[in-house]
A and B are shown apart, each in its own frame.
Chain A
Amino acid sequence: MSEPINDIIKREVKPATDSGFTLSEQNFGFGNQSNLTQYLTFSLNHDEYGVDILKVQEIRSWEPVSRIPNVPPYEKGVINLRGAIVPIIDLRERFGLEFLQHTAVTAVIVLQTEHNGKLRSMGIVVDSVSNVVDVETAAIQDAPDFGARVNTQFIHGLAASNERMIMLLDVDKLMIMEGTVEPV
């Protein structure tokens, strides 16, 4: 499953034409000329979400986890990822969506971020992985403020692709909020 995505990552990125453009943080991986950021998109309850592809370590299928006692229900447990103990978070439950029984097609995206010079990994459970899209950094729109009704703290911004809205997630924030860095 991960192979085509790797191919896409390796695909040459077109150099930017708009030279006056300022780079966003998300853009660092592809050098200075690019104003495109690649996002891996996935679906969750018929909505499309995206994460910065440079933060994606790998994509796996769902497998049973070892439960951790006395933690919020969305923290599903830990798995053995080639010798490392990596936590798995159910994103549906995390976002307060209805729980969907995990099946063989349920995907786990393993995200990786650097914190204090150490690489930390975390798996998120999503309905299915969709695509890799190029998003022009300038076209990213801030998430509207819904007040207390909708918690948009993990949403880095909104972008459009094929006339569908993609919610771009802030991976670093997501991982910190999951207590991988500080206890909640």
Chain B
Amino acid sequence: MSIELAQFHQVFFEESFEGLDVMESGLLNLDLGNVDEEEINTIFRAAHSIKGGSGTFGFMDVSDFTHVMETLLDEMRAGQREVSQKGIDVLLAAVDCLREMLSAIQNQQEIDQAQVRIYKRRLDEELNGATDVTNAPEEDSTAEPSNDSSIGACQESGWHIAFSPHVHMLKLGNEPLRMFRELEEMGRLTVAADDQGLPGLHELDAEECHLSWDLKVVGQIAKDDIYEIFDWVEDDCDMAVQSLADREVSREDVGLAEIQANVDCPVPTGADSSAKKVADKKVEKKQKSTAAKGSSSLIRVDTSKIDTLINMVGELVITQSMLSLMGEQFELEKLDQLKTGLAQLEQHTRELQESVMNIRMLPISFVFSRFPRLVHDLSSKLGKQIELKLSGEQTEVDKSVVELISDPLVHLIRNSIDHGIEMPQQRTETGKPEKGTINLKAFHRGGSIFIEVSDDGKGLDPEKLKAKALERGLITENDTLSDRQAYELIMAPGFSTAESVTDVSGRGVGMDVVRKNIQALGGTIEIRSELGKGSTMSISLPLTLAILDGQTISVGDETYIVPLISIIESLNVVPKMINCVLGKGETFQLRGEYLPIIRMHQIFAIEEPRATELTEGILVVVEAQGVRCGLFVDDLLGQQQVVVKSLEEHYRAIEGVSGATILGDGSVALILDIPGLLRLSVDAELDSVA
């Protein structure tokens, strides 16, 4: 039975983590003065279903812990207890603890019992502080004298447990089978049931427990852990735990359990199967670990998305059959029909592709939802008052982007809290509202997703940044930087503007990592700032990483793809637009701006380009990371969507190339990486100078 249960573990974990998120955001939303009853109800329900689920799956630690939380919440809900900031903080900490417990179980690691006990005690204190309800099973276990002394003490030989529950134990919802199952996880378990106490069949009440058990569990187990399992029922049973060595029971004597199963009693049937499972334990564990491995690649998809997909496939099938019918008896008159059919096919394929991509899309709220907590914790730690405003949480992004963008965003928000927003006093002095605001915004524009983090803090001071960079030797005195370039300095490795290093930020390792991560996603980051008014970090990311709109270009007899998103325009130049800096660096003037020219045939060493004079070919104006330049190519071929294939799978990364794709004729074309090309051209200039 537990083998079947194991397959639901993943769902349980997912739901529990979602439940925790709900609890967390609910707790953060609680307004102390005016408590919304529905909000508490929501939190309570989430806690309740985690408790129920964990009980069902036998994660007693979790269900015990949640039980205490639930009690606290229940009192809040019933109005018996006032909602205090302290209570919320304790509950938030408990949510964290619960999350750790669950992920420990999910990864099949040991739960940090010491930590759990600390949080549980805090909950109990909160619970008992206001009312006299002593509903703390944990206190009993600490009262056990042998408990603290034997923490961590392991016995090689194992333990003998004499367990005889009181008659009413089953009525309290305790299931011995679950405890046995947990024991079984720890070591080799043998169970012997004693049915001597059983009354006659006519007297037997199915809800009463008349059995007692002799349990032997062999393995490296701390006595504590055994008590932990029986924690819940300690008041409702008589039990004695003795080490096997004391009893002088040799391991060889420990055989499989012999159980006299009584059909009329509900418990022994379970005990029987649990004994059988001793043999199957290895198999079961193996299955569990495979289930855990597959966990990270799961995705939840809205049914409507799948319906669209099915509709689309239906259309595709119709078009296909139409075309094949036409192919069977083709006459030249039908050419127009064929063309229409093909056009339809193309449209369906495109739609199908879009819907398939859509399946991978998740709302960005998956990332955003963790930030209210972050802001709450950090701002109270730093003594600042900050409000976080979210918008565009429903903007959908590719799953892989969601996974990878969250760390950079955490960095940016921490930076805003720590460096951006000033202390309340400072804010009032400068005429700003005491409470700072951080805006977290996501939206689509063109083929990109923009995520912006903006604050109304003190902003970046370009002069200060330049001075700092000079001090660090990142720039020289001769360098003249625009404000924008100065802002970019904060993303240079080892650069930090914080006067002192705190544990929040200031070590100067953050922003360069942020930029690197975003670049790895094919995105760019731009900084806008106004001194004294605040700053904005704007991240733009491609919608998906698997397909991009490309412009095919040709140089010599080679074909390359330029991502359409980085192209601003393409033009023919006339001689008067072209200038040379120091006789070497070619530039051209575009609407008053001088842009450098990168000759593709030079930088990629392409033989026999058709155009060697700038006026013969075409300049493709591209932009990357706020820098523009003209890419000199022979010709533009056409625009098409290309499927991005990795070069690194069988080969390696090539500077200036982000990947490859397969063209309609089966040949391979490289996709240009514009930032990489810019770096290449700078290196080439340096070489030519040297």
Contacts and interface: CB of A to CB of B under 8 A. Distances in A.
B602 to A, nearest CB: 11
Contacts of B655: 70
The listed residue with most B CB atoms (<10 A of its CB), out of A78, A83, A121, is A78
A86 interface: yes
Given A66-B558, A66-B667, A68-B670, A121 B650 contact: yes
A70 B654 contact: yes
Contacts of B660: 66, 78, 85
B645 interface: yes
A106 interface: no
Given A85-B651, A180-B652, 16 more contacts: A66-B667, A69-B656, A69-B670, A78-B651, A78-B660, A80-B662, A80-B666, A80-B667, A84-B649, A84-B650, A85-B660, A87-B651, A120-B650, A122-B651, A179-B652, A183-B653
Interface string A120-151: 11100000000000000000000000000000
Interface size class of B (residues with CB under 8 A): 20 to 34
Nearest to A88: B651
A181 B651 CA distance: 7
A9 interface: no
B647 interface: yes
Contacts of B649: 84-85, 118, 120
A87 B654 CA distance: 12
A145 B670 CA distance: 41
B668 A78 contact: yes
Interface string A55-80: 00000000011111111000001111
A158 B359 CA distance: 55
- State the majority secondary structure of interface residues on B: loop
Nearest to A182: B652
A167 B680 CA distance: 40
Interface residues of A, number: 26
Interface in A76-114: 77-80, 83-87
Contacts of A64: 667
Nearest to A66: B668
10 contacts: A67-B558, A68-B651, A68-B654, A69-B606, A78-B651, A78-B660, A83-B645, A86-B651, A121-B650, A179-B651
Contact of B669 (A66, A86, A120, A121): A66
Nearest to A68: B654
A85 B650 contact: yes
B656 A70 contact: yes
B8 interface: no
Interface in B94-124: none
Interface of A: 64-71, 77-80, 83-87, 118, 120-122, 179-183
B675 to A, nearest CB: 16
Given A85-B645, A86-B650, A79 B668 contact: yes
A80 B668 contact: yes
Contact of B668 (A85, A122, A182): A85
Nearest to B655: A70
Nearest to A87: B651
A120 B646 CA distance: 12
Nearest to B662: A80
B605 interface: yes
Contact of B654 (A65, A71, A182): A71
B239 interface: no
Contacts of B656: 69-70
Contacts of B652: 179-183
The listed residue with most A CB atoms (<10 A of its CB), out of B605, B647, B670, is B670
A77 B650 CA distance: 12
Contacts of B606: 67, 69
B211 interface: no
A87 B650 contact: yes
Nearest to A120: B650
A78 B668 CA distance: 7
Contacts of A66: 558, 660, 667-670
Nearest to B666: A80
Contacts of A122: 650-651
A77 B670 CA distance: 11
A71 B606 CA distance: 12
A183 B654 CA distance: 9
B650 A68 contact: no
Contacts of A118: 649
A69 B599 CA distance: 13
B330 interface: no
A87 B667 CA distance: 13
B323 to A, nearest CB: 24
Nearest to B667: A66
Nearest to A121: B650
A68 B647 CA distance: 10
A85 B668 CA distance: 8
Nearest to A122: B650
Contacts of B645: 83-85
Interface string B632-671: 0000000000000111011111111100101000111110
A65 B647 CA distance: 14
Contacts of A87: 650-651
A69 B654 contact: yes
The listed residue with most A CB atoms (<10 A of its CB), out of B646, B649, B650, B657, is B650
Interface string B156-173: 000000000000000000
The listed residue with most A CB atoms (<10 A of its CB), out of B604, B647, B651, B680, is B651
Contacts of A78: 647, 651, 660, 668
A70 B606 CA distance: 10
A112 to B, nearest CB: 9
A150 B168 CA distance: 87
Given A66-B670, A68-B654, A69-B654, A85 B647 contact: yes
A5 B234 CA distance: 72
Given A66-B558, A80-B667, A180 B605 contact: no
Nearest to B684: A70
A87 to B, nearest CB: 4
A78 B646 CA distance: 12
Contacts of B646: 85
B605 A83 contact: no
Contacts of A83: 645, 662
A12 to B, nearest CB: 33
The listed residue with most B CB atoms (<10 A of its CB), out of A68, A69, A80, A121, is A69
The listed residue with most B CB atoms (<10 A of its CB), out of A77, A80, A86, is A80
